[in-house]
Chains A and B, each alone.
Chain A
Amino acid sequence: MQSLVIVAHGSHLNPESSAPTYDHADTIRATGAFDEVKTGFWKEEPHFREVLRTVEGDEIYVVPLFVSEGYFTEQVIPRELRLDGWDVAEWDSDGLSADQATLVAEDIDREVHYCGPVGTHRAMTDVIVRRAESVTGDPDVGDDFGLAVVGHGTERNENSAKAIEYHADRIAERDRFDEVRALYMDEDPEVDDLPEFFESDDVVLVPLFIADGYHTQEDIPEDVGLCEDYTEGYDVPTEVDGTRIWYAGAVGTEPLMADVVLERAADAGADLGAALDDVRETTRVATGD
């Protein structure tokens, strides 16, 4: 019996934080690729500590719905899931290449396949592009458009910047958008000065975050100048210093994210049948490279 466990941060304060996790779980459940799809959280329930005991299967794939490798994927989740003998060296990662580690979870005394985070998977690049398509309503968006991929800088987490650059580079290589840039919230090049970094009149701004919350709904819109005060809201697009900014909100809410979760499990050996195709179809991905 094959089980998928999606683990995510969740929130004590923001009721929307868990929404993408539930949505992607539902999309995957509908494919029937797993006998069960469970969700576990750091700040909600079931907690990381207790989610595995709700799992019935014996082929268990744990996929962290996090944007980068770092504190959560390397320390918190393995510790709380009680992965016996976990050492970050198991992933043998350069900060982007964590794939999976198979370890016994002491809580249930069964093996689990602990996967790398969704945010660093190559399929995530497609989700960022897809997000740009959704927010502009144009499946061919690219010509005369710039794309900004935004996240925390190295101050919070060195690998967060790596993930942003990785996807920005991959999208740039596709020659689809006129310009592609990685911007950061707490270091240069800073998202606050977005118009300075683009020549295009139109720029899609995609934050590499899993859920909408403080950063994507308050911080970034205000910093970029989409609004004075986030409570006033903003239009999409909003013109700032001569640049029309198409603000996409958290990329993690894009339905195609379910595909990346599946890719992670597949890389770790899950038997998915036609699920990957199903999800790409139902979430209508643009043709990738």
Chain B
Amino acid sequence: MSEPAEESADSGAAPEPPDIDLPSDAFDAVLDALSDHTPGDPLRFEGFSVAPDLRGDIDEDRYVLADGDRRTGLTEGELHEALAERAPAVTDWYAFERVVGEFGPRRAFLRWLEDADGATVATRYAALAEGIERAWGELRITATLTDRGERRYDVRHADDAGVSVDELDAHEDPLDARDLVRYDEQGRYRPLKTAPSLAGGWVFPELGPRDAYEAVETIYPATVANWHREREGELDVNHWRETMARQSGIYGVVKTWDRGEGYEHVNWVAEACCDDSQCLKRREWEYDDETDLDVDGGDGAFPCREPCSVVVSAARKWTRLESEQPRTYEFELTPSEKEQVEDIIDAVADGRIDEIREADTKEGANRYRTRFLRAKLFDGDGNLAGVPTEPDENDEE
């Protein structure tokens, strides 16, 4: 049972909500809603409700306020006074019913940010006054409250948590985010927006609710929409098989990669592309609806409902590459050279080459070490250990 907001401060352990001035737009919205009101269905706020008082003369609008007691015959001025005393509940109603609006993903996301479906207004307002922080991919979203009960959101890279706004590149228009997500820290194009390579250094310091949602959906497109569907139990997952079967044109070939006798190749794809180190979506798609992959889907806040276009494109390449038959090549490598080859593969696969210091020759993937290996082992045509890729007899199995 929830108590009226203005009384909760008395209950000792409850957090102290901040003082809120009832803004006129919120009060006007209440009057507006009351004028449209269906009899028998009062306007509900946390801890009380308001309805037009339909008894008696109608030369002036009168209202009823019920909060356990019933106060009838309130004039507009008296109603204003009563609502001003309950400004947290009224501004909370206004924020979600009038500012945020009905659109499912936006509403659910903004309510989730402040746990509006769990915590009371008093608890939330006290928490918002302090600032409520949430993570979304690499984002840090901090929700706060003005003294008029309006939400404000600070959206930035988690790495920039605690950095003062003055030191960051500040933006107001959520669509500016399109330019913030295009390149990584090193200026490389990011084809997959949920790759964990979002560059920092910027902030949206004071977004309103709609713009906050818009910024998040611009940085991580459709993630809120899919997260919302998942929460509603309506996420439409399309597994690997059906997604590949749907492809056409130059991608039509990918369906030939599934030969019915196993899904190991898809494990490898998921490990290569969908691991949390490569993509922040939590992979929910599997091989097909009966066969789960053996690779973990990750811990992301938002789900991945089908193999994305980057994965489909890569799968097209692998379909061709994997149609080749293995051959036996003979190379002579020292044990350290074999390990060095492994180090190089690891370093490239983990995106670590930039971290390996120029003179750190202990690292197998060090540039000097690698150049030495090439100088020693490649022939003039770039063949490893002088062994040609195609055997002289060009017979294919």
Contacts and interface: CB of A to CB of B under 8 A. Distances in A.
B250 to A, nearest CB: 10
Contacts of B306: 49
B175 interface: yes
B35 interface: no
Contacts of A47: 222, 308-309
Contact of A15 (B189, B222, B229, B308): B189
B222 A45 contact: yes
A12 B221 contact: no
Interface in A11-64: 11-15, 22, 26, 42-47, 49-51, 53-54, 56
Q: Which of B105, B178, B194, B246 has the most chain A CB atoms closer than 10 A to its own CB?
A: B178
Contact of B249 (A14, A15, A45, A76): A76
B225 A43 contact: no
A47 B305 CA distance: 12
B221 A46 contact: yes
Interface in B23-75: none
A13 B189 contact: yes
A42 B225 contact: no
Contacts of A14: 189
B234 to A, nearest CB: 10
Contact of B225 (A15, A22, A53, A76): A53
Q: Which of B222, B236, B248, B308 has the most chain A CB atoms closer than 10 A to its own CB?
A: B222
Contact of A13 (B191, B192, B236, B249): B191
A54 B222 CA distance: 6
B313 interface: yes
A282 interface: no
Contacts of A71: 249
Interface in A176-232: none
B249 A46 contact: no
Contacts of A76: 248-249
A54 B191 contact: no
A75 to B, nearest CB: 6
B310 interface: yes
B282 interface: no
A43 B178 contact: no
A53 B178 CA distance: 19
A54 B221 contact: yes
B193 interface: yes
A80 B249 CA distance: 14
A22 B248 contact: no
Interface of B: 103, 105-106, 175, 178, 182-183, 189, 191-194, 217, 221-222, 225-226, 229, 236, 246, 248-249, 305-306, 308-310, 313
Given A12-B191, A54-B222, A75-B249, 13 more contacts: A12-B309, A14-B189, A15-B183, A22-B175, A44-B193, A44-B309, A45-B193, A50-B221, A53-B225, A54-B217, A56-B103, A76-B249, A107-B236
5 smallest CB-CB distances across A and B, nearest first, come from A46-B221, A45-B221, A12-B191, A50-B222, A46-B222
